[in-house]
Structures are given as C-alpha cells and as structure tokens.
Amino acid sequence: MPRSRLFPSLTLGVRPAKTTIFRWLYDELRRAILDRRLRAGEKLPSTRGLAKQYQVARGTVVAVFEQLAAEGYIEPRRGSGATVKRTLPEKYSEVSSPLMRGTVRPSAAFLSPRGLRFVRATLPVSQTPVRSAFQTDQPALDLFPTALWGRIASRCLRGAQRSLLASGQALGYLPLREALADYLRSVRGIKCSHEAIVITSGTQHSLDLISRLILDQGDCVWMEDPGYPRAASLFRALGAKVVALPVDSEGLDCAAGRGRARRARLAYVTPAHQFPLGVTMSISRRLELLRWAQSGNSWIFEDDYDGEFRFASRPLAALQSLDESGCVIYASSFSKMMFPTLRLGYMVVPQRLIEPIAAARSLIDLFPPVLDQAVMCEFITEGHFGRHLRRMREIYARRLEVLQSAASVKLDGLLQLTSTRAGLQAIGWLHRSIRAEDAELAASARGINVVPLSRFAIERPTRNGLMLGFAMADERILRQGVEELARVLRSLKNQPPGRRA
C-alpha cells in the first residue's frame, strides 16, 4: 500500500546516521505537530499501522507515543492510536516560525537594528485555548452572547450609511467615544469628556502609539517586576531601557525607581490589580508616583486591564482621577470584558496628547475598524454591556470561590493560594520542594495549564509560584482540575530531588 494512503498528512524525513529509530521517529512526529502538518485533533494511525508503514518495531512506536503523550503533544485513545492535542506544551506551541524558534538567525543584512530588536523581543500570541481548569488569559468565551452580537452587527451593517463605510475618525468612532465617556463617568468614577477618549485596537496598540510619541532610543521606562512581559518587550523593541522595579504590598517601589532612574520618561503600572501579583497600589504610593511624574515631566501609563472584575470591594480611584497635571494615560481593553479577538480598547489621555495622537495615527493605522466600533457602541448604549459585565462578575466570583475552597482542602501543604478579590486569575505559592517549572510540565502532560510566575520576571527571580486562571472553565472542571493538580504536585513533592526534571 502506498505510504500516502496510510498516513496522508505526513512524510517522515530520512533517518540521520547515528540517530536511533526512537529519536528519529520522536523528532519527526514532534516536528510535524509543531509545524501543524499534523493538525490539532487529527487522528494518528495505530502504532501497528505506523510500525508496518515505516518497517520499525511496534514496541519502538509505542514508546514514542508514550513519550509524546507524557510531554503533552498527543492524547492516547483506547486501543493503540492517539490524536494530536488541541493545546500543546506551551513553550513549544507558542513558537511557530523557524525565525521565532531561533533555528533561522535573522540577518542584520535585511533588517534594520530596530527590526532586529523586534524579532529578538518577540513574544508568542495565545493559541486557541482549551476549556481546561486553569487556562489563564481568557474570559468565559462560551458565555459571551454571540447571537445577540451577531444581530446587532447585522443591523448595523444593514442600516449603515455611506459615511460608515467610507471613512473613520482618527480618535475613534464619535458615538462610541461618547458612550464610553458616559460609562466611565457614571460607573467607574473616571473624570473625562469624550474628547479625551481614543479608541485603539487594544492595550498593546495603545502602548505602541504612546511609546512612539514619547519615547526615544535609550529612554528609561519604569516597570513593575514581575510585570507584564508584552509591555516590557515592546519598550525594549523600541530601543527604550527597561528599569525593573520591585513590587511590595503597596505596589511599585517608587523609591527604588528614583534611586535607579529618576529621570525615566515613563512608568508603566497596573495600580488597580498588579499584574501578575494582584496587589492594589496604596493611595500613598499613588500620590508618590504622581509627584515623581509631575516633578520630572515624566508620564505614567495606567493599565487597567481587568478593573471591571472586582468581587469584594469598590476599586480605589484610578490614578488618572488623582492626576492634576496631565501626566497619566489611562488604558483599558475589551479583551477580557468581551472577547480577545475583538481587538478593541481605549485610552483616556491628557489634553496635550490628543492632537499628537491623531497626527501619528494618520501615518500608522488611520483609524480602527469602524463597523466593530459601531457594534460595540450599540452594545453599550442598549445596556447589554452593563448586563454582560454584571453577569460575568457573578459567575467569576462564584468560580473563584469554588477554586479557593477546593484548593484549601486538596492543595493544602502543596500550593498556598493568596487572597484574590479581583481579576480572572489567582496566584499560589508552592511548597519549597516543588519547582514551578516542573509543576507546569507535569501538569501539562495531564492536560492542565498552570503558569510559573517566573514567566513574568522582568529582571529578578520571582518567588516560586503558579498562576491559575479560574474564569474560563465551569465549576465542575475547576474542582476536577484542583484534584488532578493535587495529584501532580503530590507526586513531585514525593520525588527524590535527583529525579525531578
């Protein structure tokens, strides 16, 4: 039988000299999965069929399948076959192109120094998430009212005037800016008129626009450490110098910042709910940060990435509302409140930045997609947005409660969750004998995603801990996830040190 009929999506390369059959088969199958020649969910042939096709011992194929299953690439099926996993072990699945994998070196000959910095600073973009227990970074997408969104979208399109199809406004769709100003004033206590609101394609885009306008190569930027890697990488790619500052129970250590780079141009902070530790910046720190920015003519970028999801208390006033000298740029995003692929966000900017942003935009992206903004605007003004957020807040609060109560029993002595009252993820400190990176690997082999805190280290090592998302999966999956995680952590705790990965 011809090979292509047996295993149509795969042709294995020739076995290199001095490579064992196991190593060759393992490498070829893993590479085929990473390169998507074998797609997520695709059924692999039986071990017997594969052994026959490539004339190798069946025991070797079984051993390769077991290895790939243990590492989280494939899911064994009853019998002897397997399917490719929908979520691959993170550190591999994120890295998709040969350039990003580092197997091809970018050449200075075809890229500018800035281009090279972008390639070197690149970060993976989340793959399609699975509904596994602790998936981070994602809201509960199955509960988003897509049918309602679809009805509003088709109504907007059917009734679209020619102007809606012809052009857009550099600062964003005016009715959406007005609706957001109303919402921010009445619900969030943020002082602004619609004139100060700029619609963007999400916070990353907001950061890029602002950085291009206020940062030059060599400028210093204060960052929280641990902090948001995508912000740090962007600053570095643009040629800025990231000054990583510790975070304590009151938030960013401003005194350390003044000691290391008093004249920094910008401070990037997450005061409402520090990313990733979850600390709320104290009022005295907020005032200290503002005084520093005002005295040195510096800027503050306030990233309010999950401010809508507070479960216990009302948030402290935004830094933006304490700012009297116009140095704070407040940014928020619809990625978590709605869904990440919407790619819509907004900023509230000081008056002196409005014109420069409009000018810069005329050379960068002109304006964000108008139809999406019109749909978002209707969603807000018809009251769906407020309703959706209230519903999700209740659901997430309940899921957090389930996680906390299950963890307090099952993870006792293994992982100590910190007290979380906001956001979509929780942090836990591991027993000292369990390394976070080992826990990630062992958990992913059992289909559970947990993220070591070291992933968010900007400069200094982080405490040994894990981030667990609790928004995406329902209560049953969360409870099962806690039990499975307990098994994984217990087995790591009981392993003699020499045998740990």
Ligand X SMILES: Cc1ncc(COP(=O)(O)O)c(C=O)c1O
**Site for ligand X, rule CB under 6 A:** 137, 202-204, 228, 270, 275, 303, 305, 333, 335, 340, 345
* Sheet with strand 345-348: strands edge to edge: 197-200, 345-348, 328-333, 299-303, 266-269, 220-225, 241-248, 251-252
- Tokens representing residue 399 in the block: 């899921």
- Closest C-alpha among 451, 452, 442, 453 to residue 484: 442
Residue closer to ligand X (CB basis): 81 or 423: 423
Residue closer to ligand X (CB basis): 45 or 202: 202
- Closest C-alpha among 249, 248, 232 to residue 240: 232
What minimum distance in Å lies between the beta carbon of 338 and ligand X? Answer: 10
Cβ contact 72:445 at 8 Å: yes
What minimum distance in Å lies between the beta carbon of 424 and ligand X? Answer: 9
Cβ contact 199:218 at 8 Å: no
Q: Which amino acid is at 225?
A: D
DSSP state for residue 499 in the 8-state scheme: G
What minimum distance in Å lies between the beta carbon of 213 and ligand X? Answer: 18
What minimum distance in Å lies between the beta carbon of 207 and ligand X? Answer: 8
- Tokens representing residue 147 in the block: 């049918």
Residue closer to ligand X (CB basis): 25 or 232: 232
356 CB-side CA count, 13 A = 11
Residue closer to ligand X (CB basis): 73 or 228: 228
Residue closer to ligand X (CB basis): 338 or 486: 338
- Closest C-alpha among 203, 166, 231, 208 to residue 344: 203
| Exposure b/e, 471-480, CB count within 10 A at least 16 = b | bbbbeebbbe
Residue closer to ligand X (CB basis): 168 or 202: 202
What minimum distance in Å lies between the beta carbon of 303 and ligand X? Answer: 5
What minimum distance in Å lies between the beta carbon of 410 and ligand X? Answer: 27
What minimum distance in Å lies between the beta carbon of 346 and ligand X? Answer: 10
- Closest C-alpha among 401, 394, 428 to residue 413: 428
Give the whole-angstrom CA distance, residue 161 versus residue 30: 52
- Tokens representing residue 64 in the block: 């390769």
What minimum distance in Å lies between the beta carbon of 137 and ligand X? Answer: 5
What minimum distance in Å lies between the beta carbon of 471 and ligand X? Answer: 12
Q: Per-residue DSSP letters for 381-392?
A: HTTHHHHHHHHH
What minimum distance in Å lies between the beta carbon of 389 and ligand X? Answer: 16
Residue closer to ligand X (CB basis): 74 or 377: 377
- Tokens representing residue 17 in the block: 């000299």
Cis-peptide, bond into residue 229, ω within 30° of zero = no
Give the whole-angstrom CA distance, residue 289 versus residue 286: 5
Q: How do beta strands 74-76 and 43-44 pair?
A: unpaired
Residue closer to ligand X (CB basis): 24 or 134: 134
Residue closer to ligand X (CB basis): 45 or 345: 345
Residue closer to ligand X (CB basis): 292 or 346: 346
Residue closer to ligand X (CB basis): 80 or 136: 136
Give the whole-angstrom CA distance, residue 293 versus residue 264: 9
Question: What residue ranges in 219-368 does DSSP mark as E strands?
Answer: 220-225, 241-248, 251-252, 266-269, 299-303, 328-333, 345-348
What minimum distance in Å lies between the beta carbon of 305 and ligand X? Answer: 3
